[in-house]
Structure 1
């Protein structure tokens, strides 16, 4: 484990990025007793806001939800700077801003987030996406003028967006080169269920095809040509083909990077004066595991709180069981753990056809739990995985078996 600067010597901390990770880190520093100066550098011309609603309720109601009130930043003595960092001067640990001035500090936290991927065939077309609040506002402004909406990408953002747009009375077609919706994040049972639910609501889903050409025929409208030769005429096209961590600043500062900014168990980069958290950080979730990047609010908040504790003098290695959620119309998907591609799975069903859970096991150990419309079971699953409580597939599959009993008396319940 690297050793950074002694927390007692830190007089100033600069956080680059004011999304969930950066904002949480700033307030957590105060919560854990850091009394030096905190500068939160926000590259957007808006106070920090919640991003998950942008693909859902924001499109219908147009209201953004702030992460904290303006008064909260003042009360916590967090200086919010609306500028972009164009360069990190490592020699002096100075942040050079695009407006011409600089910020000196004792430690830097990179909370740079991720940016939407772009399709090569869409270059120059300026298609709609959900990169930030401004792009979400542009998409919301365009929707009233569109009858047919094409969404490229059947991941979480694409499917959440589809549900919101269908609810607005639009014709929606979703296109993805994957064999099933949410292929990278969910098991086949969950994928099949949600795909069927979207079709019942009226969305058309075309899978196993790529987009080979996009030609604009009006200010918004386009014709999409698919790899199977089919053409789709749409009044509005939205790109939702995943995201890539923002690495430009890290590379400029000669930090180690891979698919993200590489950090150790303390979330320190190759320069111990610089930490990285959230959607831009590449880390190993547990000892000996493959290093990954997790783009989730939970991961951003957990890592932010860990770094804040460390910078305030509390020494612990980062560990947290990842969990995610996705609201798609009236279906709520919640996942704890990382769903393995190859696993032994059992389905735990309830009397309600729309409520069930998928338990995935690897080497007889519980790896993940996906729950549909079953929040109470998700909470139990998080506790089971968080405490590494043993559970047998037969217990998970039996709806009469009380999962909570494993938490009350793990050793005794495992024998039942």
Structure 2
């Protein structure tokens, strides 16, 4: 049943407008995938609601996962824009570039850097994540890539470098090493684990990836944790457990945590983010959270583009009165260092008792599917491309038997997928 003009907030909005005060039924702080998804879903649910997205950046909302993939090539300001500015006008969604600076949860208001005050009916924190800071001497010399502006600044500095150290051998670390190599730099990729992308790939995939990086001239050092960063002239030194490394720049990719800005002031920030219930509601009535800022339960996904999209959807449905519970659902990661395709679906969910089937392991590619009681729960793939990854996506999400999934893959390969 459609809300009346009085109950929907239009009446209150008209009164406040006469006093030159801005009121919105929904204010979303953060304009990446979670925030933009939430705004889109809210508009579908409530056609007449007043919606404001506080962007806080110097460009249109963009696809952040492209930053580590186009560092070498560079990009224009709105190359990765998720929507054109006209889209926001068509959807009657206001977009504010000025960042939020303070929140008054009792008054249900916030102030932005433009010193204007905005009131809300319901608020969503979708403020994303920030890099984890290492607690070691000299950590201020590390360079972190999180935003488009970070990327532009780092690229300008890299163009003046010859040798670069990349700390962290997860997905972002590997992609940064690849991009620095494409810039013609001498690259050393350093990490504490015993193999590359350990959280996402099995031993076979990591070995393939290592061979690829070494072939491209990237030096990989394992089992080393930094203990001190030093400045030497125009360059830097990084002391690790039993080795010391030198570079013109050190890029750090050692994990993320939820953005504490605003959440700490509200008193709702925990160890690694903002805790919510399964409906994305924080402990403060009327304030929700979605995306990378959320501290999800142990073992649940975090830091993934599609997971942020999912949380944005769940939060918006609950904000809009359509009760929807968050679930720990299969999530996947894709990475294409040097044009080689790596795919991982829910690998963190695998237990030692789960069955594993390797269906392909040759020069063409690699496919491994994990199952529990006959139902697929996880899949790994290298080299076969995005079309095959979609088959794995669909099969694992419904728990299809591993053999049946691979039979579909074989048919697709025959048809030239």
TM-score (norm 1): 0.85
Shift in Å, 1:130:
0.7
Shift of 1:347: 1.8
Q: Secondary structure at the match of 1:106?
A: strand
Q: Does 1:300 align with 2:308?
A: yes
Counterpart among 249, 256, 265 of residue 236 in structure 1? 249
What is the rounded CA distance, in whole Å, between the counterparts of 2:211 and 2:199 in structure 1?
A: 18
| CA distance 1:21–1:198, change in 2 (3 Å) | same
Partner of 1:80: 95
Deviation at 1:239, TM superposition (A): 0.9
Residues 354 and 238 of structure 1, relative CA distance in 2, 3 Å threshold? farther
CA distance in 2 between partners of 1:122 and 1:385 (Å): 45
Aligned length: 386
- Corresponding residue number in structure 1 for 2:367: 357
Map of 1:104 onto structure 2: 119
Provide Cα deviations, 1:278-327, integer angstroms capped at 9, x if missing partner. Answer: 1111335xxxxx46351111111122223333334433323443122122
* Alignment partners' CA distance in 1, 2:165 and 2:357: 35
3-state SS of 1:196 partner = helix
Query: Is residue 232 of structure 2 the alignment partner of residue 226 of structure 1?
Result: no
Deviation per CA, 1:341-369: give whole Å up to 9, x if none: 6434332216x624212222356543211
Alignment match, 1:18 = 31
Other-structure match for 1:180: 195
- For 1:365 and 1:145, locate their aligned partners in 2 and report how far apart those are by CA, in whole Å: 52
- Asked if the contact 2:138/2:230 (under 8 Å) is kept, the reply is no
| Coordinate RMSD, CA, aligned | 2.6
What is the aligned counterpart of 1:161 among 164, 168, 176?
176
Report the secondary structure of 2:387's partner residue: helix
Structure 1 residues 327, 99: CA separation in 2 closer, same or farther (over 3 Å shift)?
same
Matched, 1:323 2:321: no
> How much does 1:180 deviate?
1.3
Query: Per-residue CA shift, 1:59-101, capped at 9, x if unaligned?
Result: 3133341111121122222222223333321212112334433
Where 1:121 maps in the other structure, the secondary structure is coil
How far apart, in 1, do the equivalents of 2:117 and 2:104 lie?
10
| 1:267 counterpart (280, 285, 288) | 280
Q: CA 1:209/1:18 → structure 2, altered by over 3 Å: closer, same or farther?
A: same
- Are 1:381 and 2:392 an aligned pair? yes
Give distance in 1, aligned partners of 2:55 and 2:137: 28
Residue 67 of structure 2: SS of its match in structure 1? helix
TM-score for both structures, normalised by structure 2: 0.84
Do the aligned partners of residues 153 and 72 (structure 1) sit closer, same or farther apart at CA in structure 2, a change above 3 Å counting?
same
TM-superposed deviation, 1:19: 1.5
After the TM superposition, which residues 177-216 of structure 1 pair with which residues of structure 2 at under 5 Å, given as runs? 177-216=192-231
Q: Measured at CA, do residues 402 and 53 of structure 1 come closer, stay the same or move farther in structure 2, by a change above 3 Å?
A: closer
- 1:123 CA displacement: 3.9
In structure 2, what is the Cα distance between the partners aligned to 1:283 and 1:214?
32
Structure 2 unaligned residues grouped into runs of 5+: 1-6, 10-23, 412-417
Measure, in 1, the Cα distance between the counterparts of 2:266 and 2:74.
Answer: 41
Structure 1 residue 124: deviation in Å? 5.9
- Which ranges of structure 1 fall in alignment gaps of 5 or more residues? 1-7, 285-289, 406-416
4+ runs deviating over 6 angstroms: none
Counterpart Cα distance in 1 of 2:162 and 2:269: 46
Partners of 1:61 and 1:85 lie apart in 2 by 29
Q: Distance in 2 between matches of 1:362 and 1:34?
A: 44
